[in-house]
């Protein structure tokens, strides 16, 4: 049975989304469009976090195969909702390191694994207070991913008191963080909409999110940036959902960034550039849809399949990378020039 407070908040979320959709106006400024879109995306994230919290409670009350499948589905849905609004890297998400609280990554020292193991071996089941005090490596989607997918969990039943205690505490903490993000973004609205510099702040943030996707989330684990390929540099490598998260980011840009950016470019006499950008983003998203959820099939030594199959898979990911690079150049050069955005040096510049 759903928790009453969850149902109440879910109802509010649905109402807020309905009202937002109904009040959308063709007369909105680009910043008003961006603010409304991000508000909807934060609301969807908070709602998904509450659904995940409820799935966790249901599973821990009555463990079952179906319950676990629901829990995994709701974990991925909430994680993807976060990816969809990850292009907003300023404002409330910077407060109290909320971005890190949602997703501690990259994790080159396996802090997530070490923190989770410590809690699983504790004398008593972890509490919400334990998670709040443990630091960002234990507070977000990667910690839940470890519990759901890491090979080390073969020796620990997910329904055990410590594992379920940690699942519940991390899920509840995610609800607190995402609801605070949703509320604070609404409060941030007047300042965001009324301050001219936030146009460039939003564009800069979106460009950086595409650069992160291209360089760190895709090229680095595939070995396209100097170092040998390694699945351990990918996001969500334990669950094999790296590409599923990338798709969510691209969809988030389509729904959250593009309406306002198209309006801005058209208002400044660049409708052809707006069309070109939208077409490129659609093509990249369509390419991502043809790829498997994880990167392992394209990395030598990882995943199943014959060598010819792995070469073909790697070629598919190279094509995705090329298209993503073209999208990044359109944003970082053409859109930046058309909007007067002055950018500092970035490792992706100069190619």
Per-residue pLDDT at 241: 98
The dihedral over CA atoms of 236, 9, 98, 153, expressed in degrees to the nearest 10, equals -30
> Of 83, 77, 39, which is closest to residue 251 (Cα–Cα)?
83
Structural tokens at position 336? 């930046």
- Please identify every stretch of the chain with a pLDDT value under 50, giving residue numbers as ranges: 1-24, 345-351
3-state secondary structure of 161: helix
Per-residue pLDDT at 158: 96
> Of 160, 183, 152, 173, which is closest to residue 63 (Cα–Cα)?
160
Q: Classify the C-alpha dihedral 41-45-50-51 as positive or negative.
A: positive
What is the chain's alpha carbon radius of gyration, rounded to the nearest angstrom?
21
CA 90-95-100 angle, to 5 degrees, is 85
- Tokens 């007369």 belong to which residue? 27
């Amino acid at each position: 049975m759903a928790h009453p407070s969850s149902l109440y908040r879910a109802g509010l979320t649905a109402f807020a989304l309905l009202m937002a959709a109904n009040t959308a106006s063709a007369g909105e400024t680009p910043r008003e469009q961006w603010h409304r879109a991000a508000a909807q995306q934060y609301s969807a994230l908070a709602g998904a976090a509450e659904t995940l919290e409820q799935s966790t409670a249901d599973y821990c009350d009555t463990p079952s195969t179906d319950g676990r499948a629901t829990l995994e589905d709701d974990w991925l849905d909430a994680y993807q909702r976060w990816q969809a609004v990850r292009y907003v890297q300023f404002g409330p998400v910077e407060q109290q390191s909320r971005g890190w609280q949602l997703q501690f990554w990259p994790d080159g020292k396996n802090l997530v694994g070490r923190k989770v193991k410590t809690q699983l071996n504790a004398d008593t089941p972890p509490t919400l207070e334990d998670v709040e005090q443990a630091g960002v490596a234990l507070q977000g989607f990667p910690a839940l991913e470890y519990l759901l997918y890491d090979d080390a969990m073969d020796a620990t039943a997910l329904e055990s008191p410590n594992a379920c205690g940690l699942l519940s505490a991390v899920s509840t903490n995610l609800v607190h963080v995402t609801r605070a993000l949703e509320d604070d973004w609404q409060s941030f609205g007047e300042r965001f909409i009324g301050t001219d510099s936030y146009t460039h702040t939003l564009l800069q943030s979106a460009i950086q999110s595409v650069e992160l996707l291209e360089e760190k989330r895709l090229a680095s684990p595939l070995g396209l940036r100097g170092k040998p390929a390694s699945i351990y540099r990918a996001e969500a490598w334990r669950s094999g959902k790296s590409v599923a998260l990338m798709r969510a980011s691209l969809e988030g840009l389509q729904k959250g960034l593009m309406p306002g950016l198209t309006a801005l470019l058209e208002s400044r006499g660049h409708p052809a550039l707006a069309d070109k950008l939208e077409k490129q983003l659609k093509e990249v998203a369509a390419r991502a849809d043809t790829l498997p959820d994880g990167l392992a099939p394209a990395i030598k030594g990882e995943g199943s399949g014959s060598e010819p199959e792995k070469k073909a898979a790697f070629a598919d990911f190279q094509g995705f990378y090329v298209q993503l690079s073209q999208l990044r150049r359109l944003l970082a050069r053409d859109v930046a020039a058309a909007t007067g955005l002055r950018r500092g040096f970035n490792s992706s510049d100069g190619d």
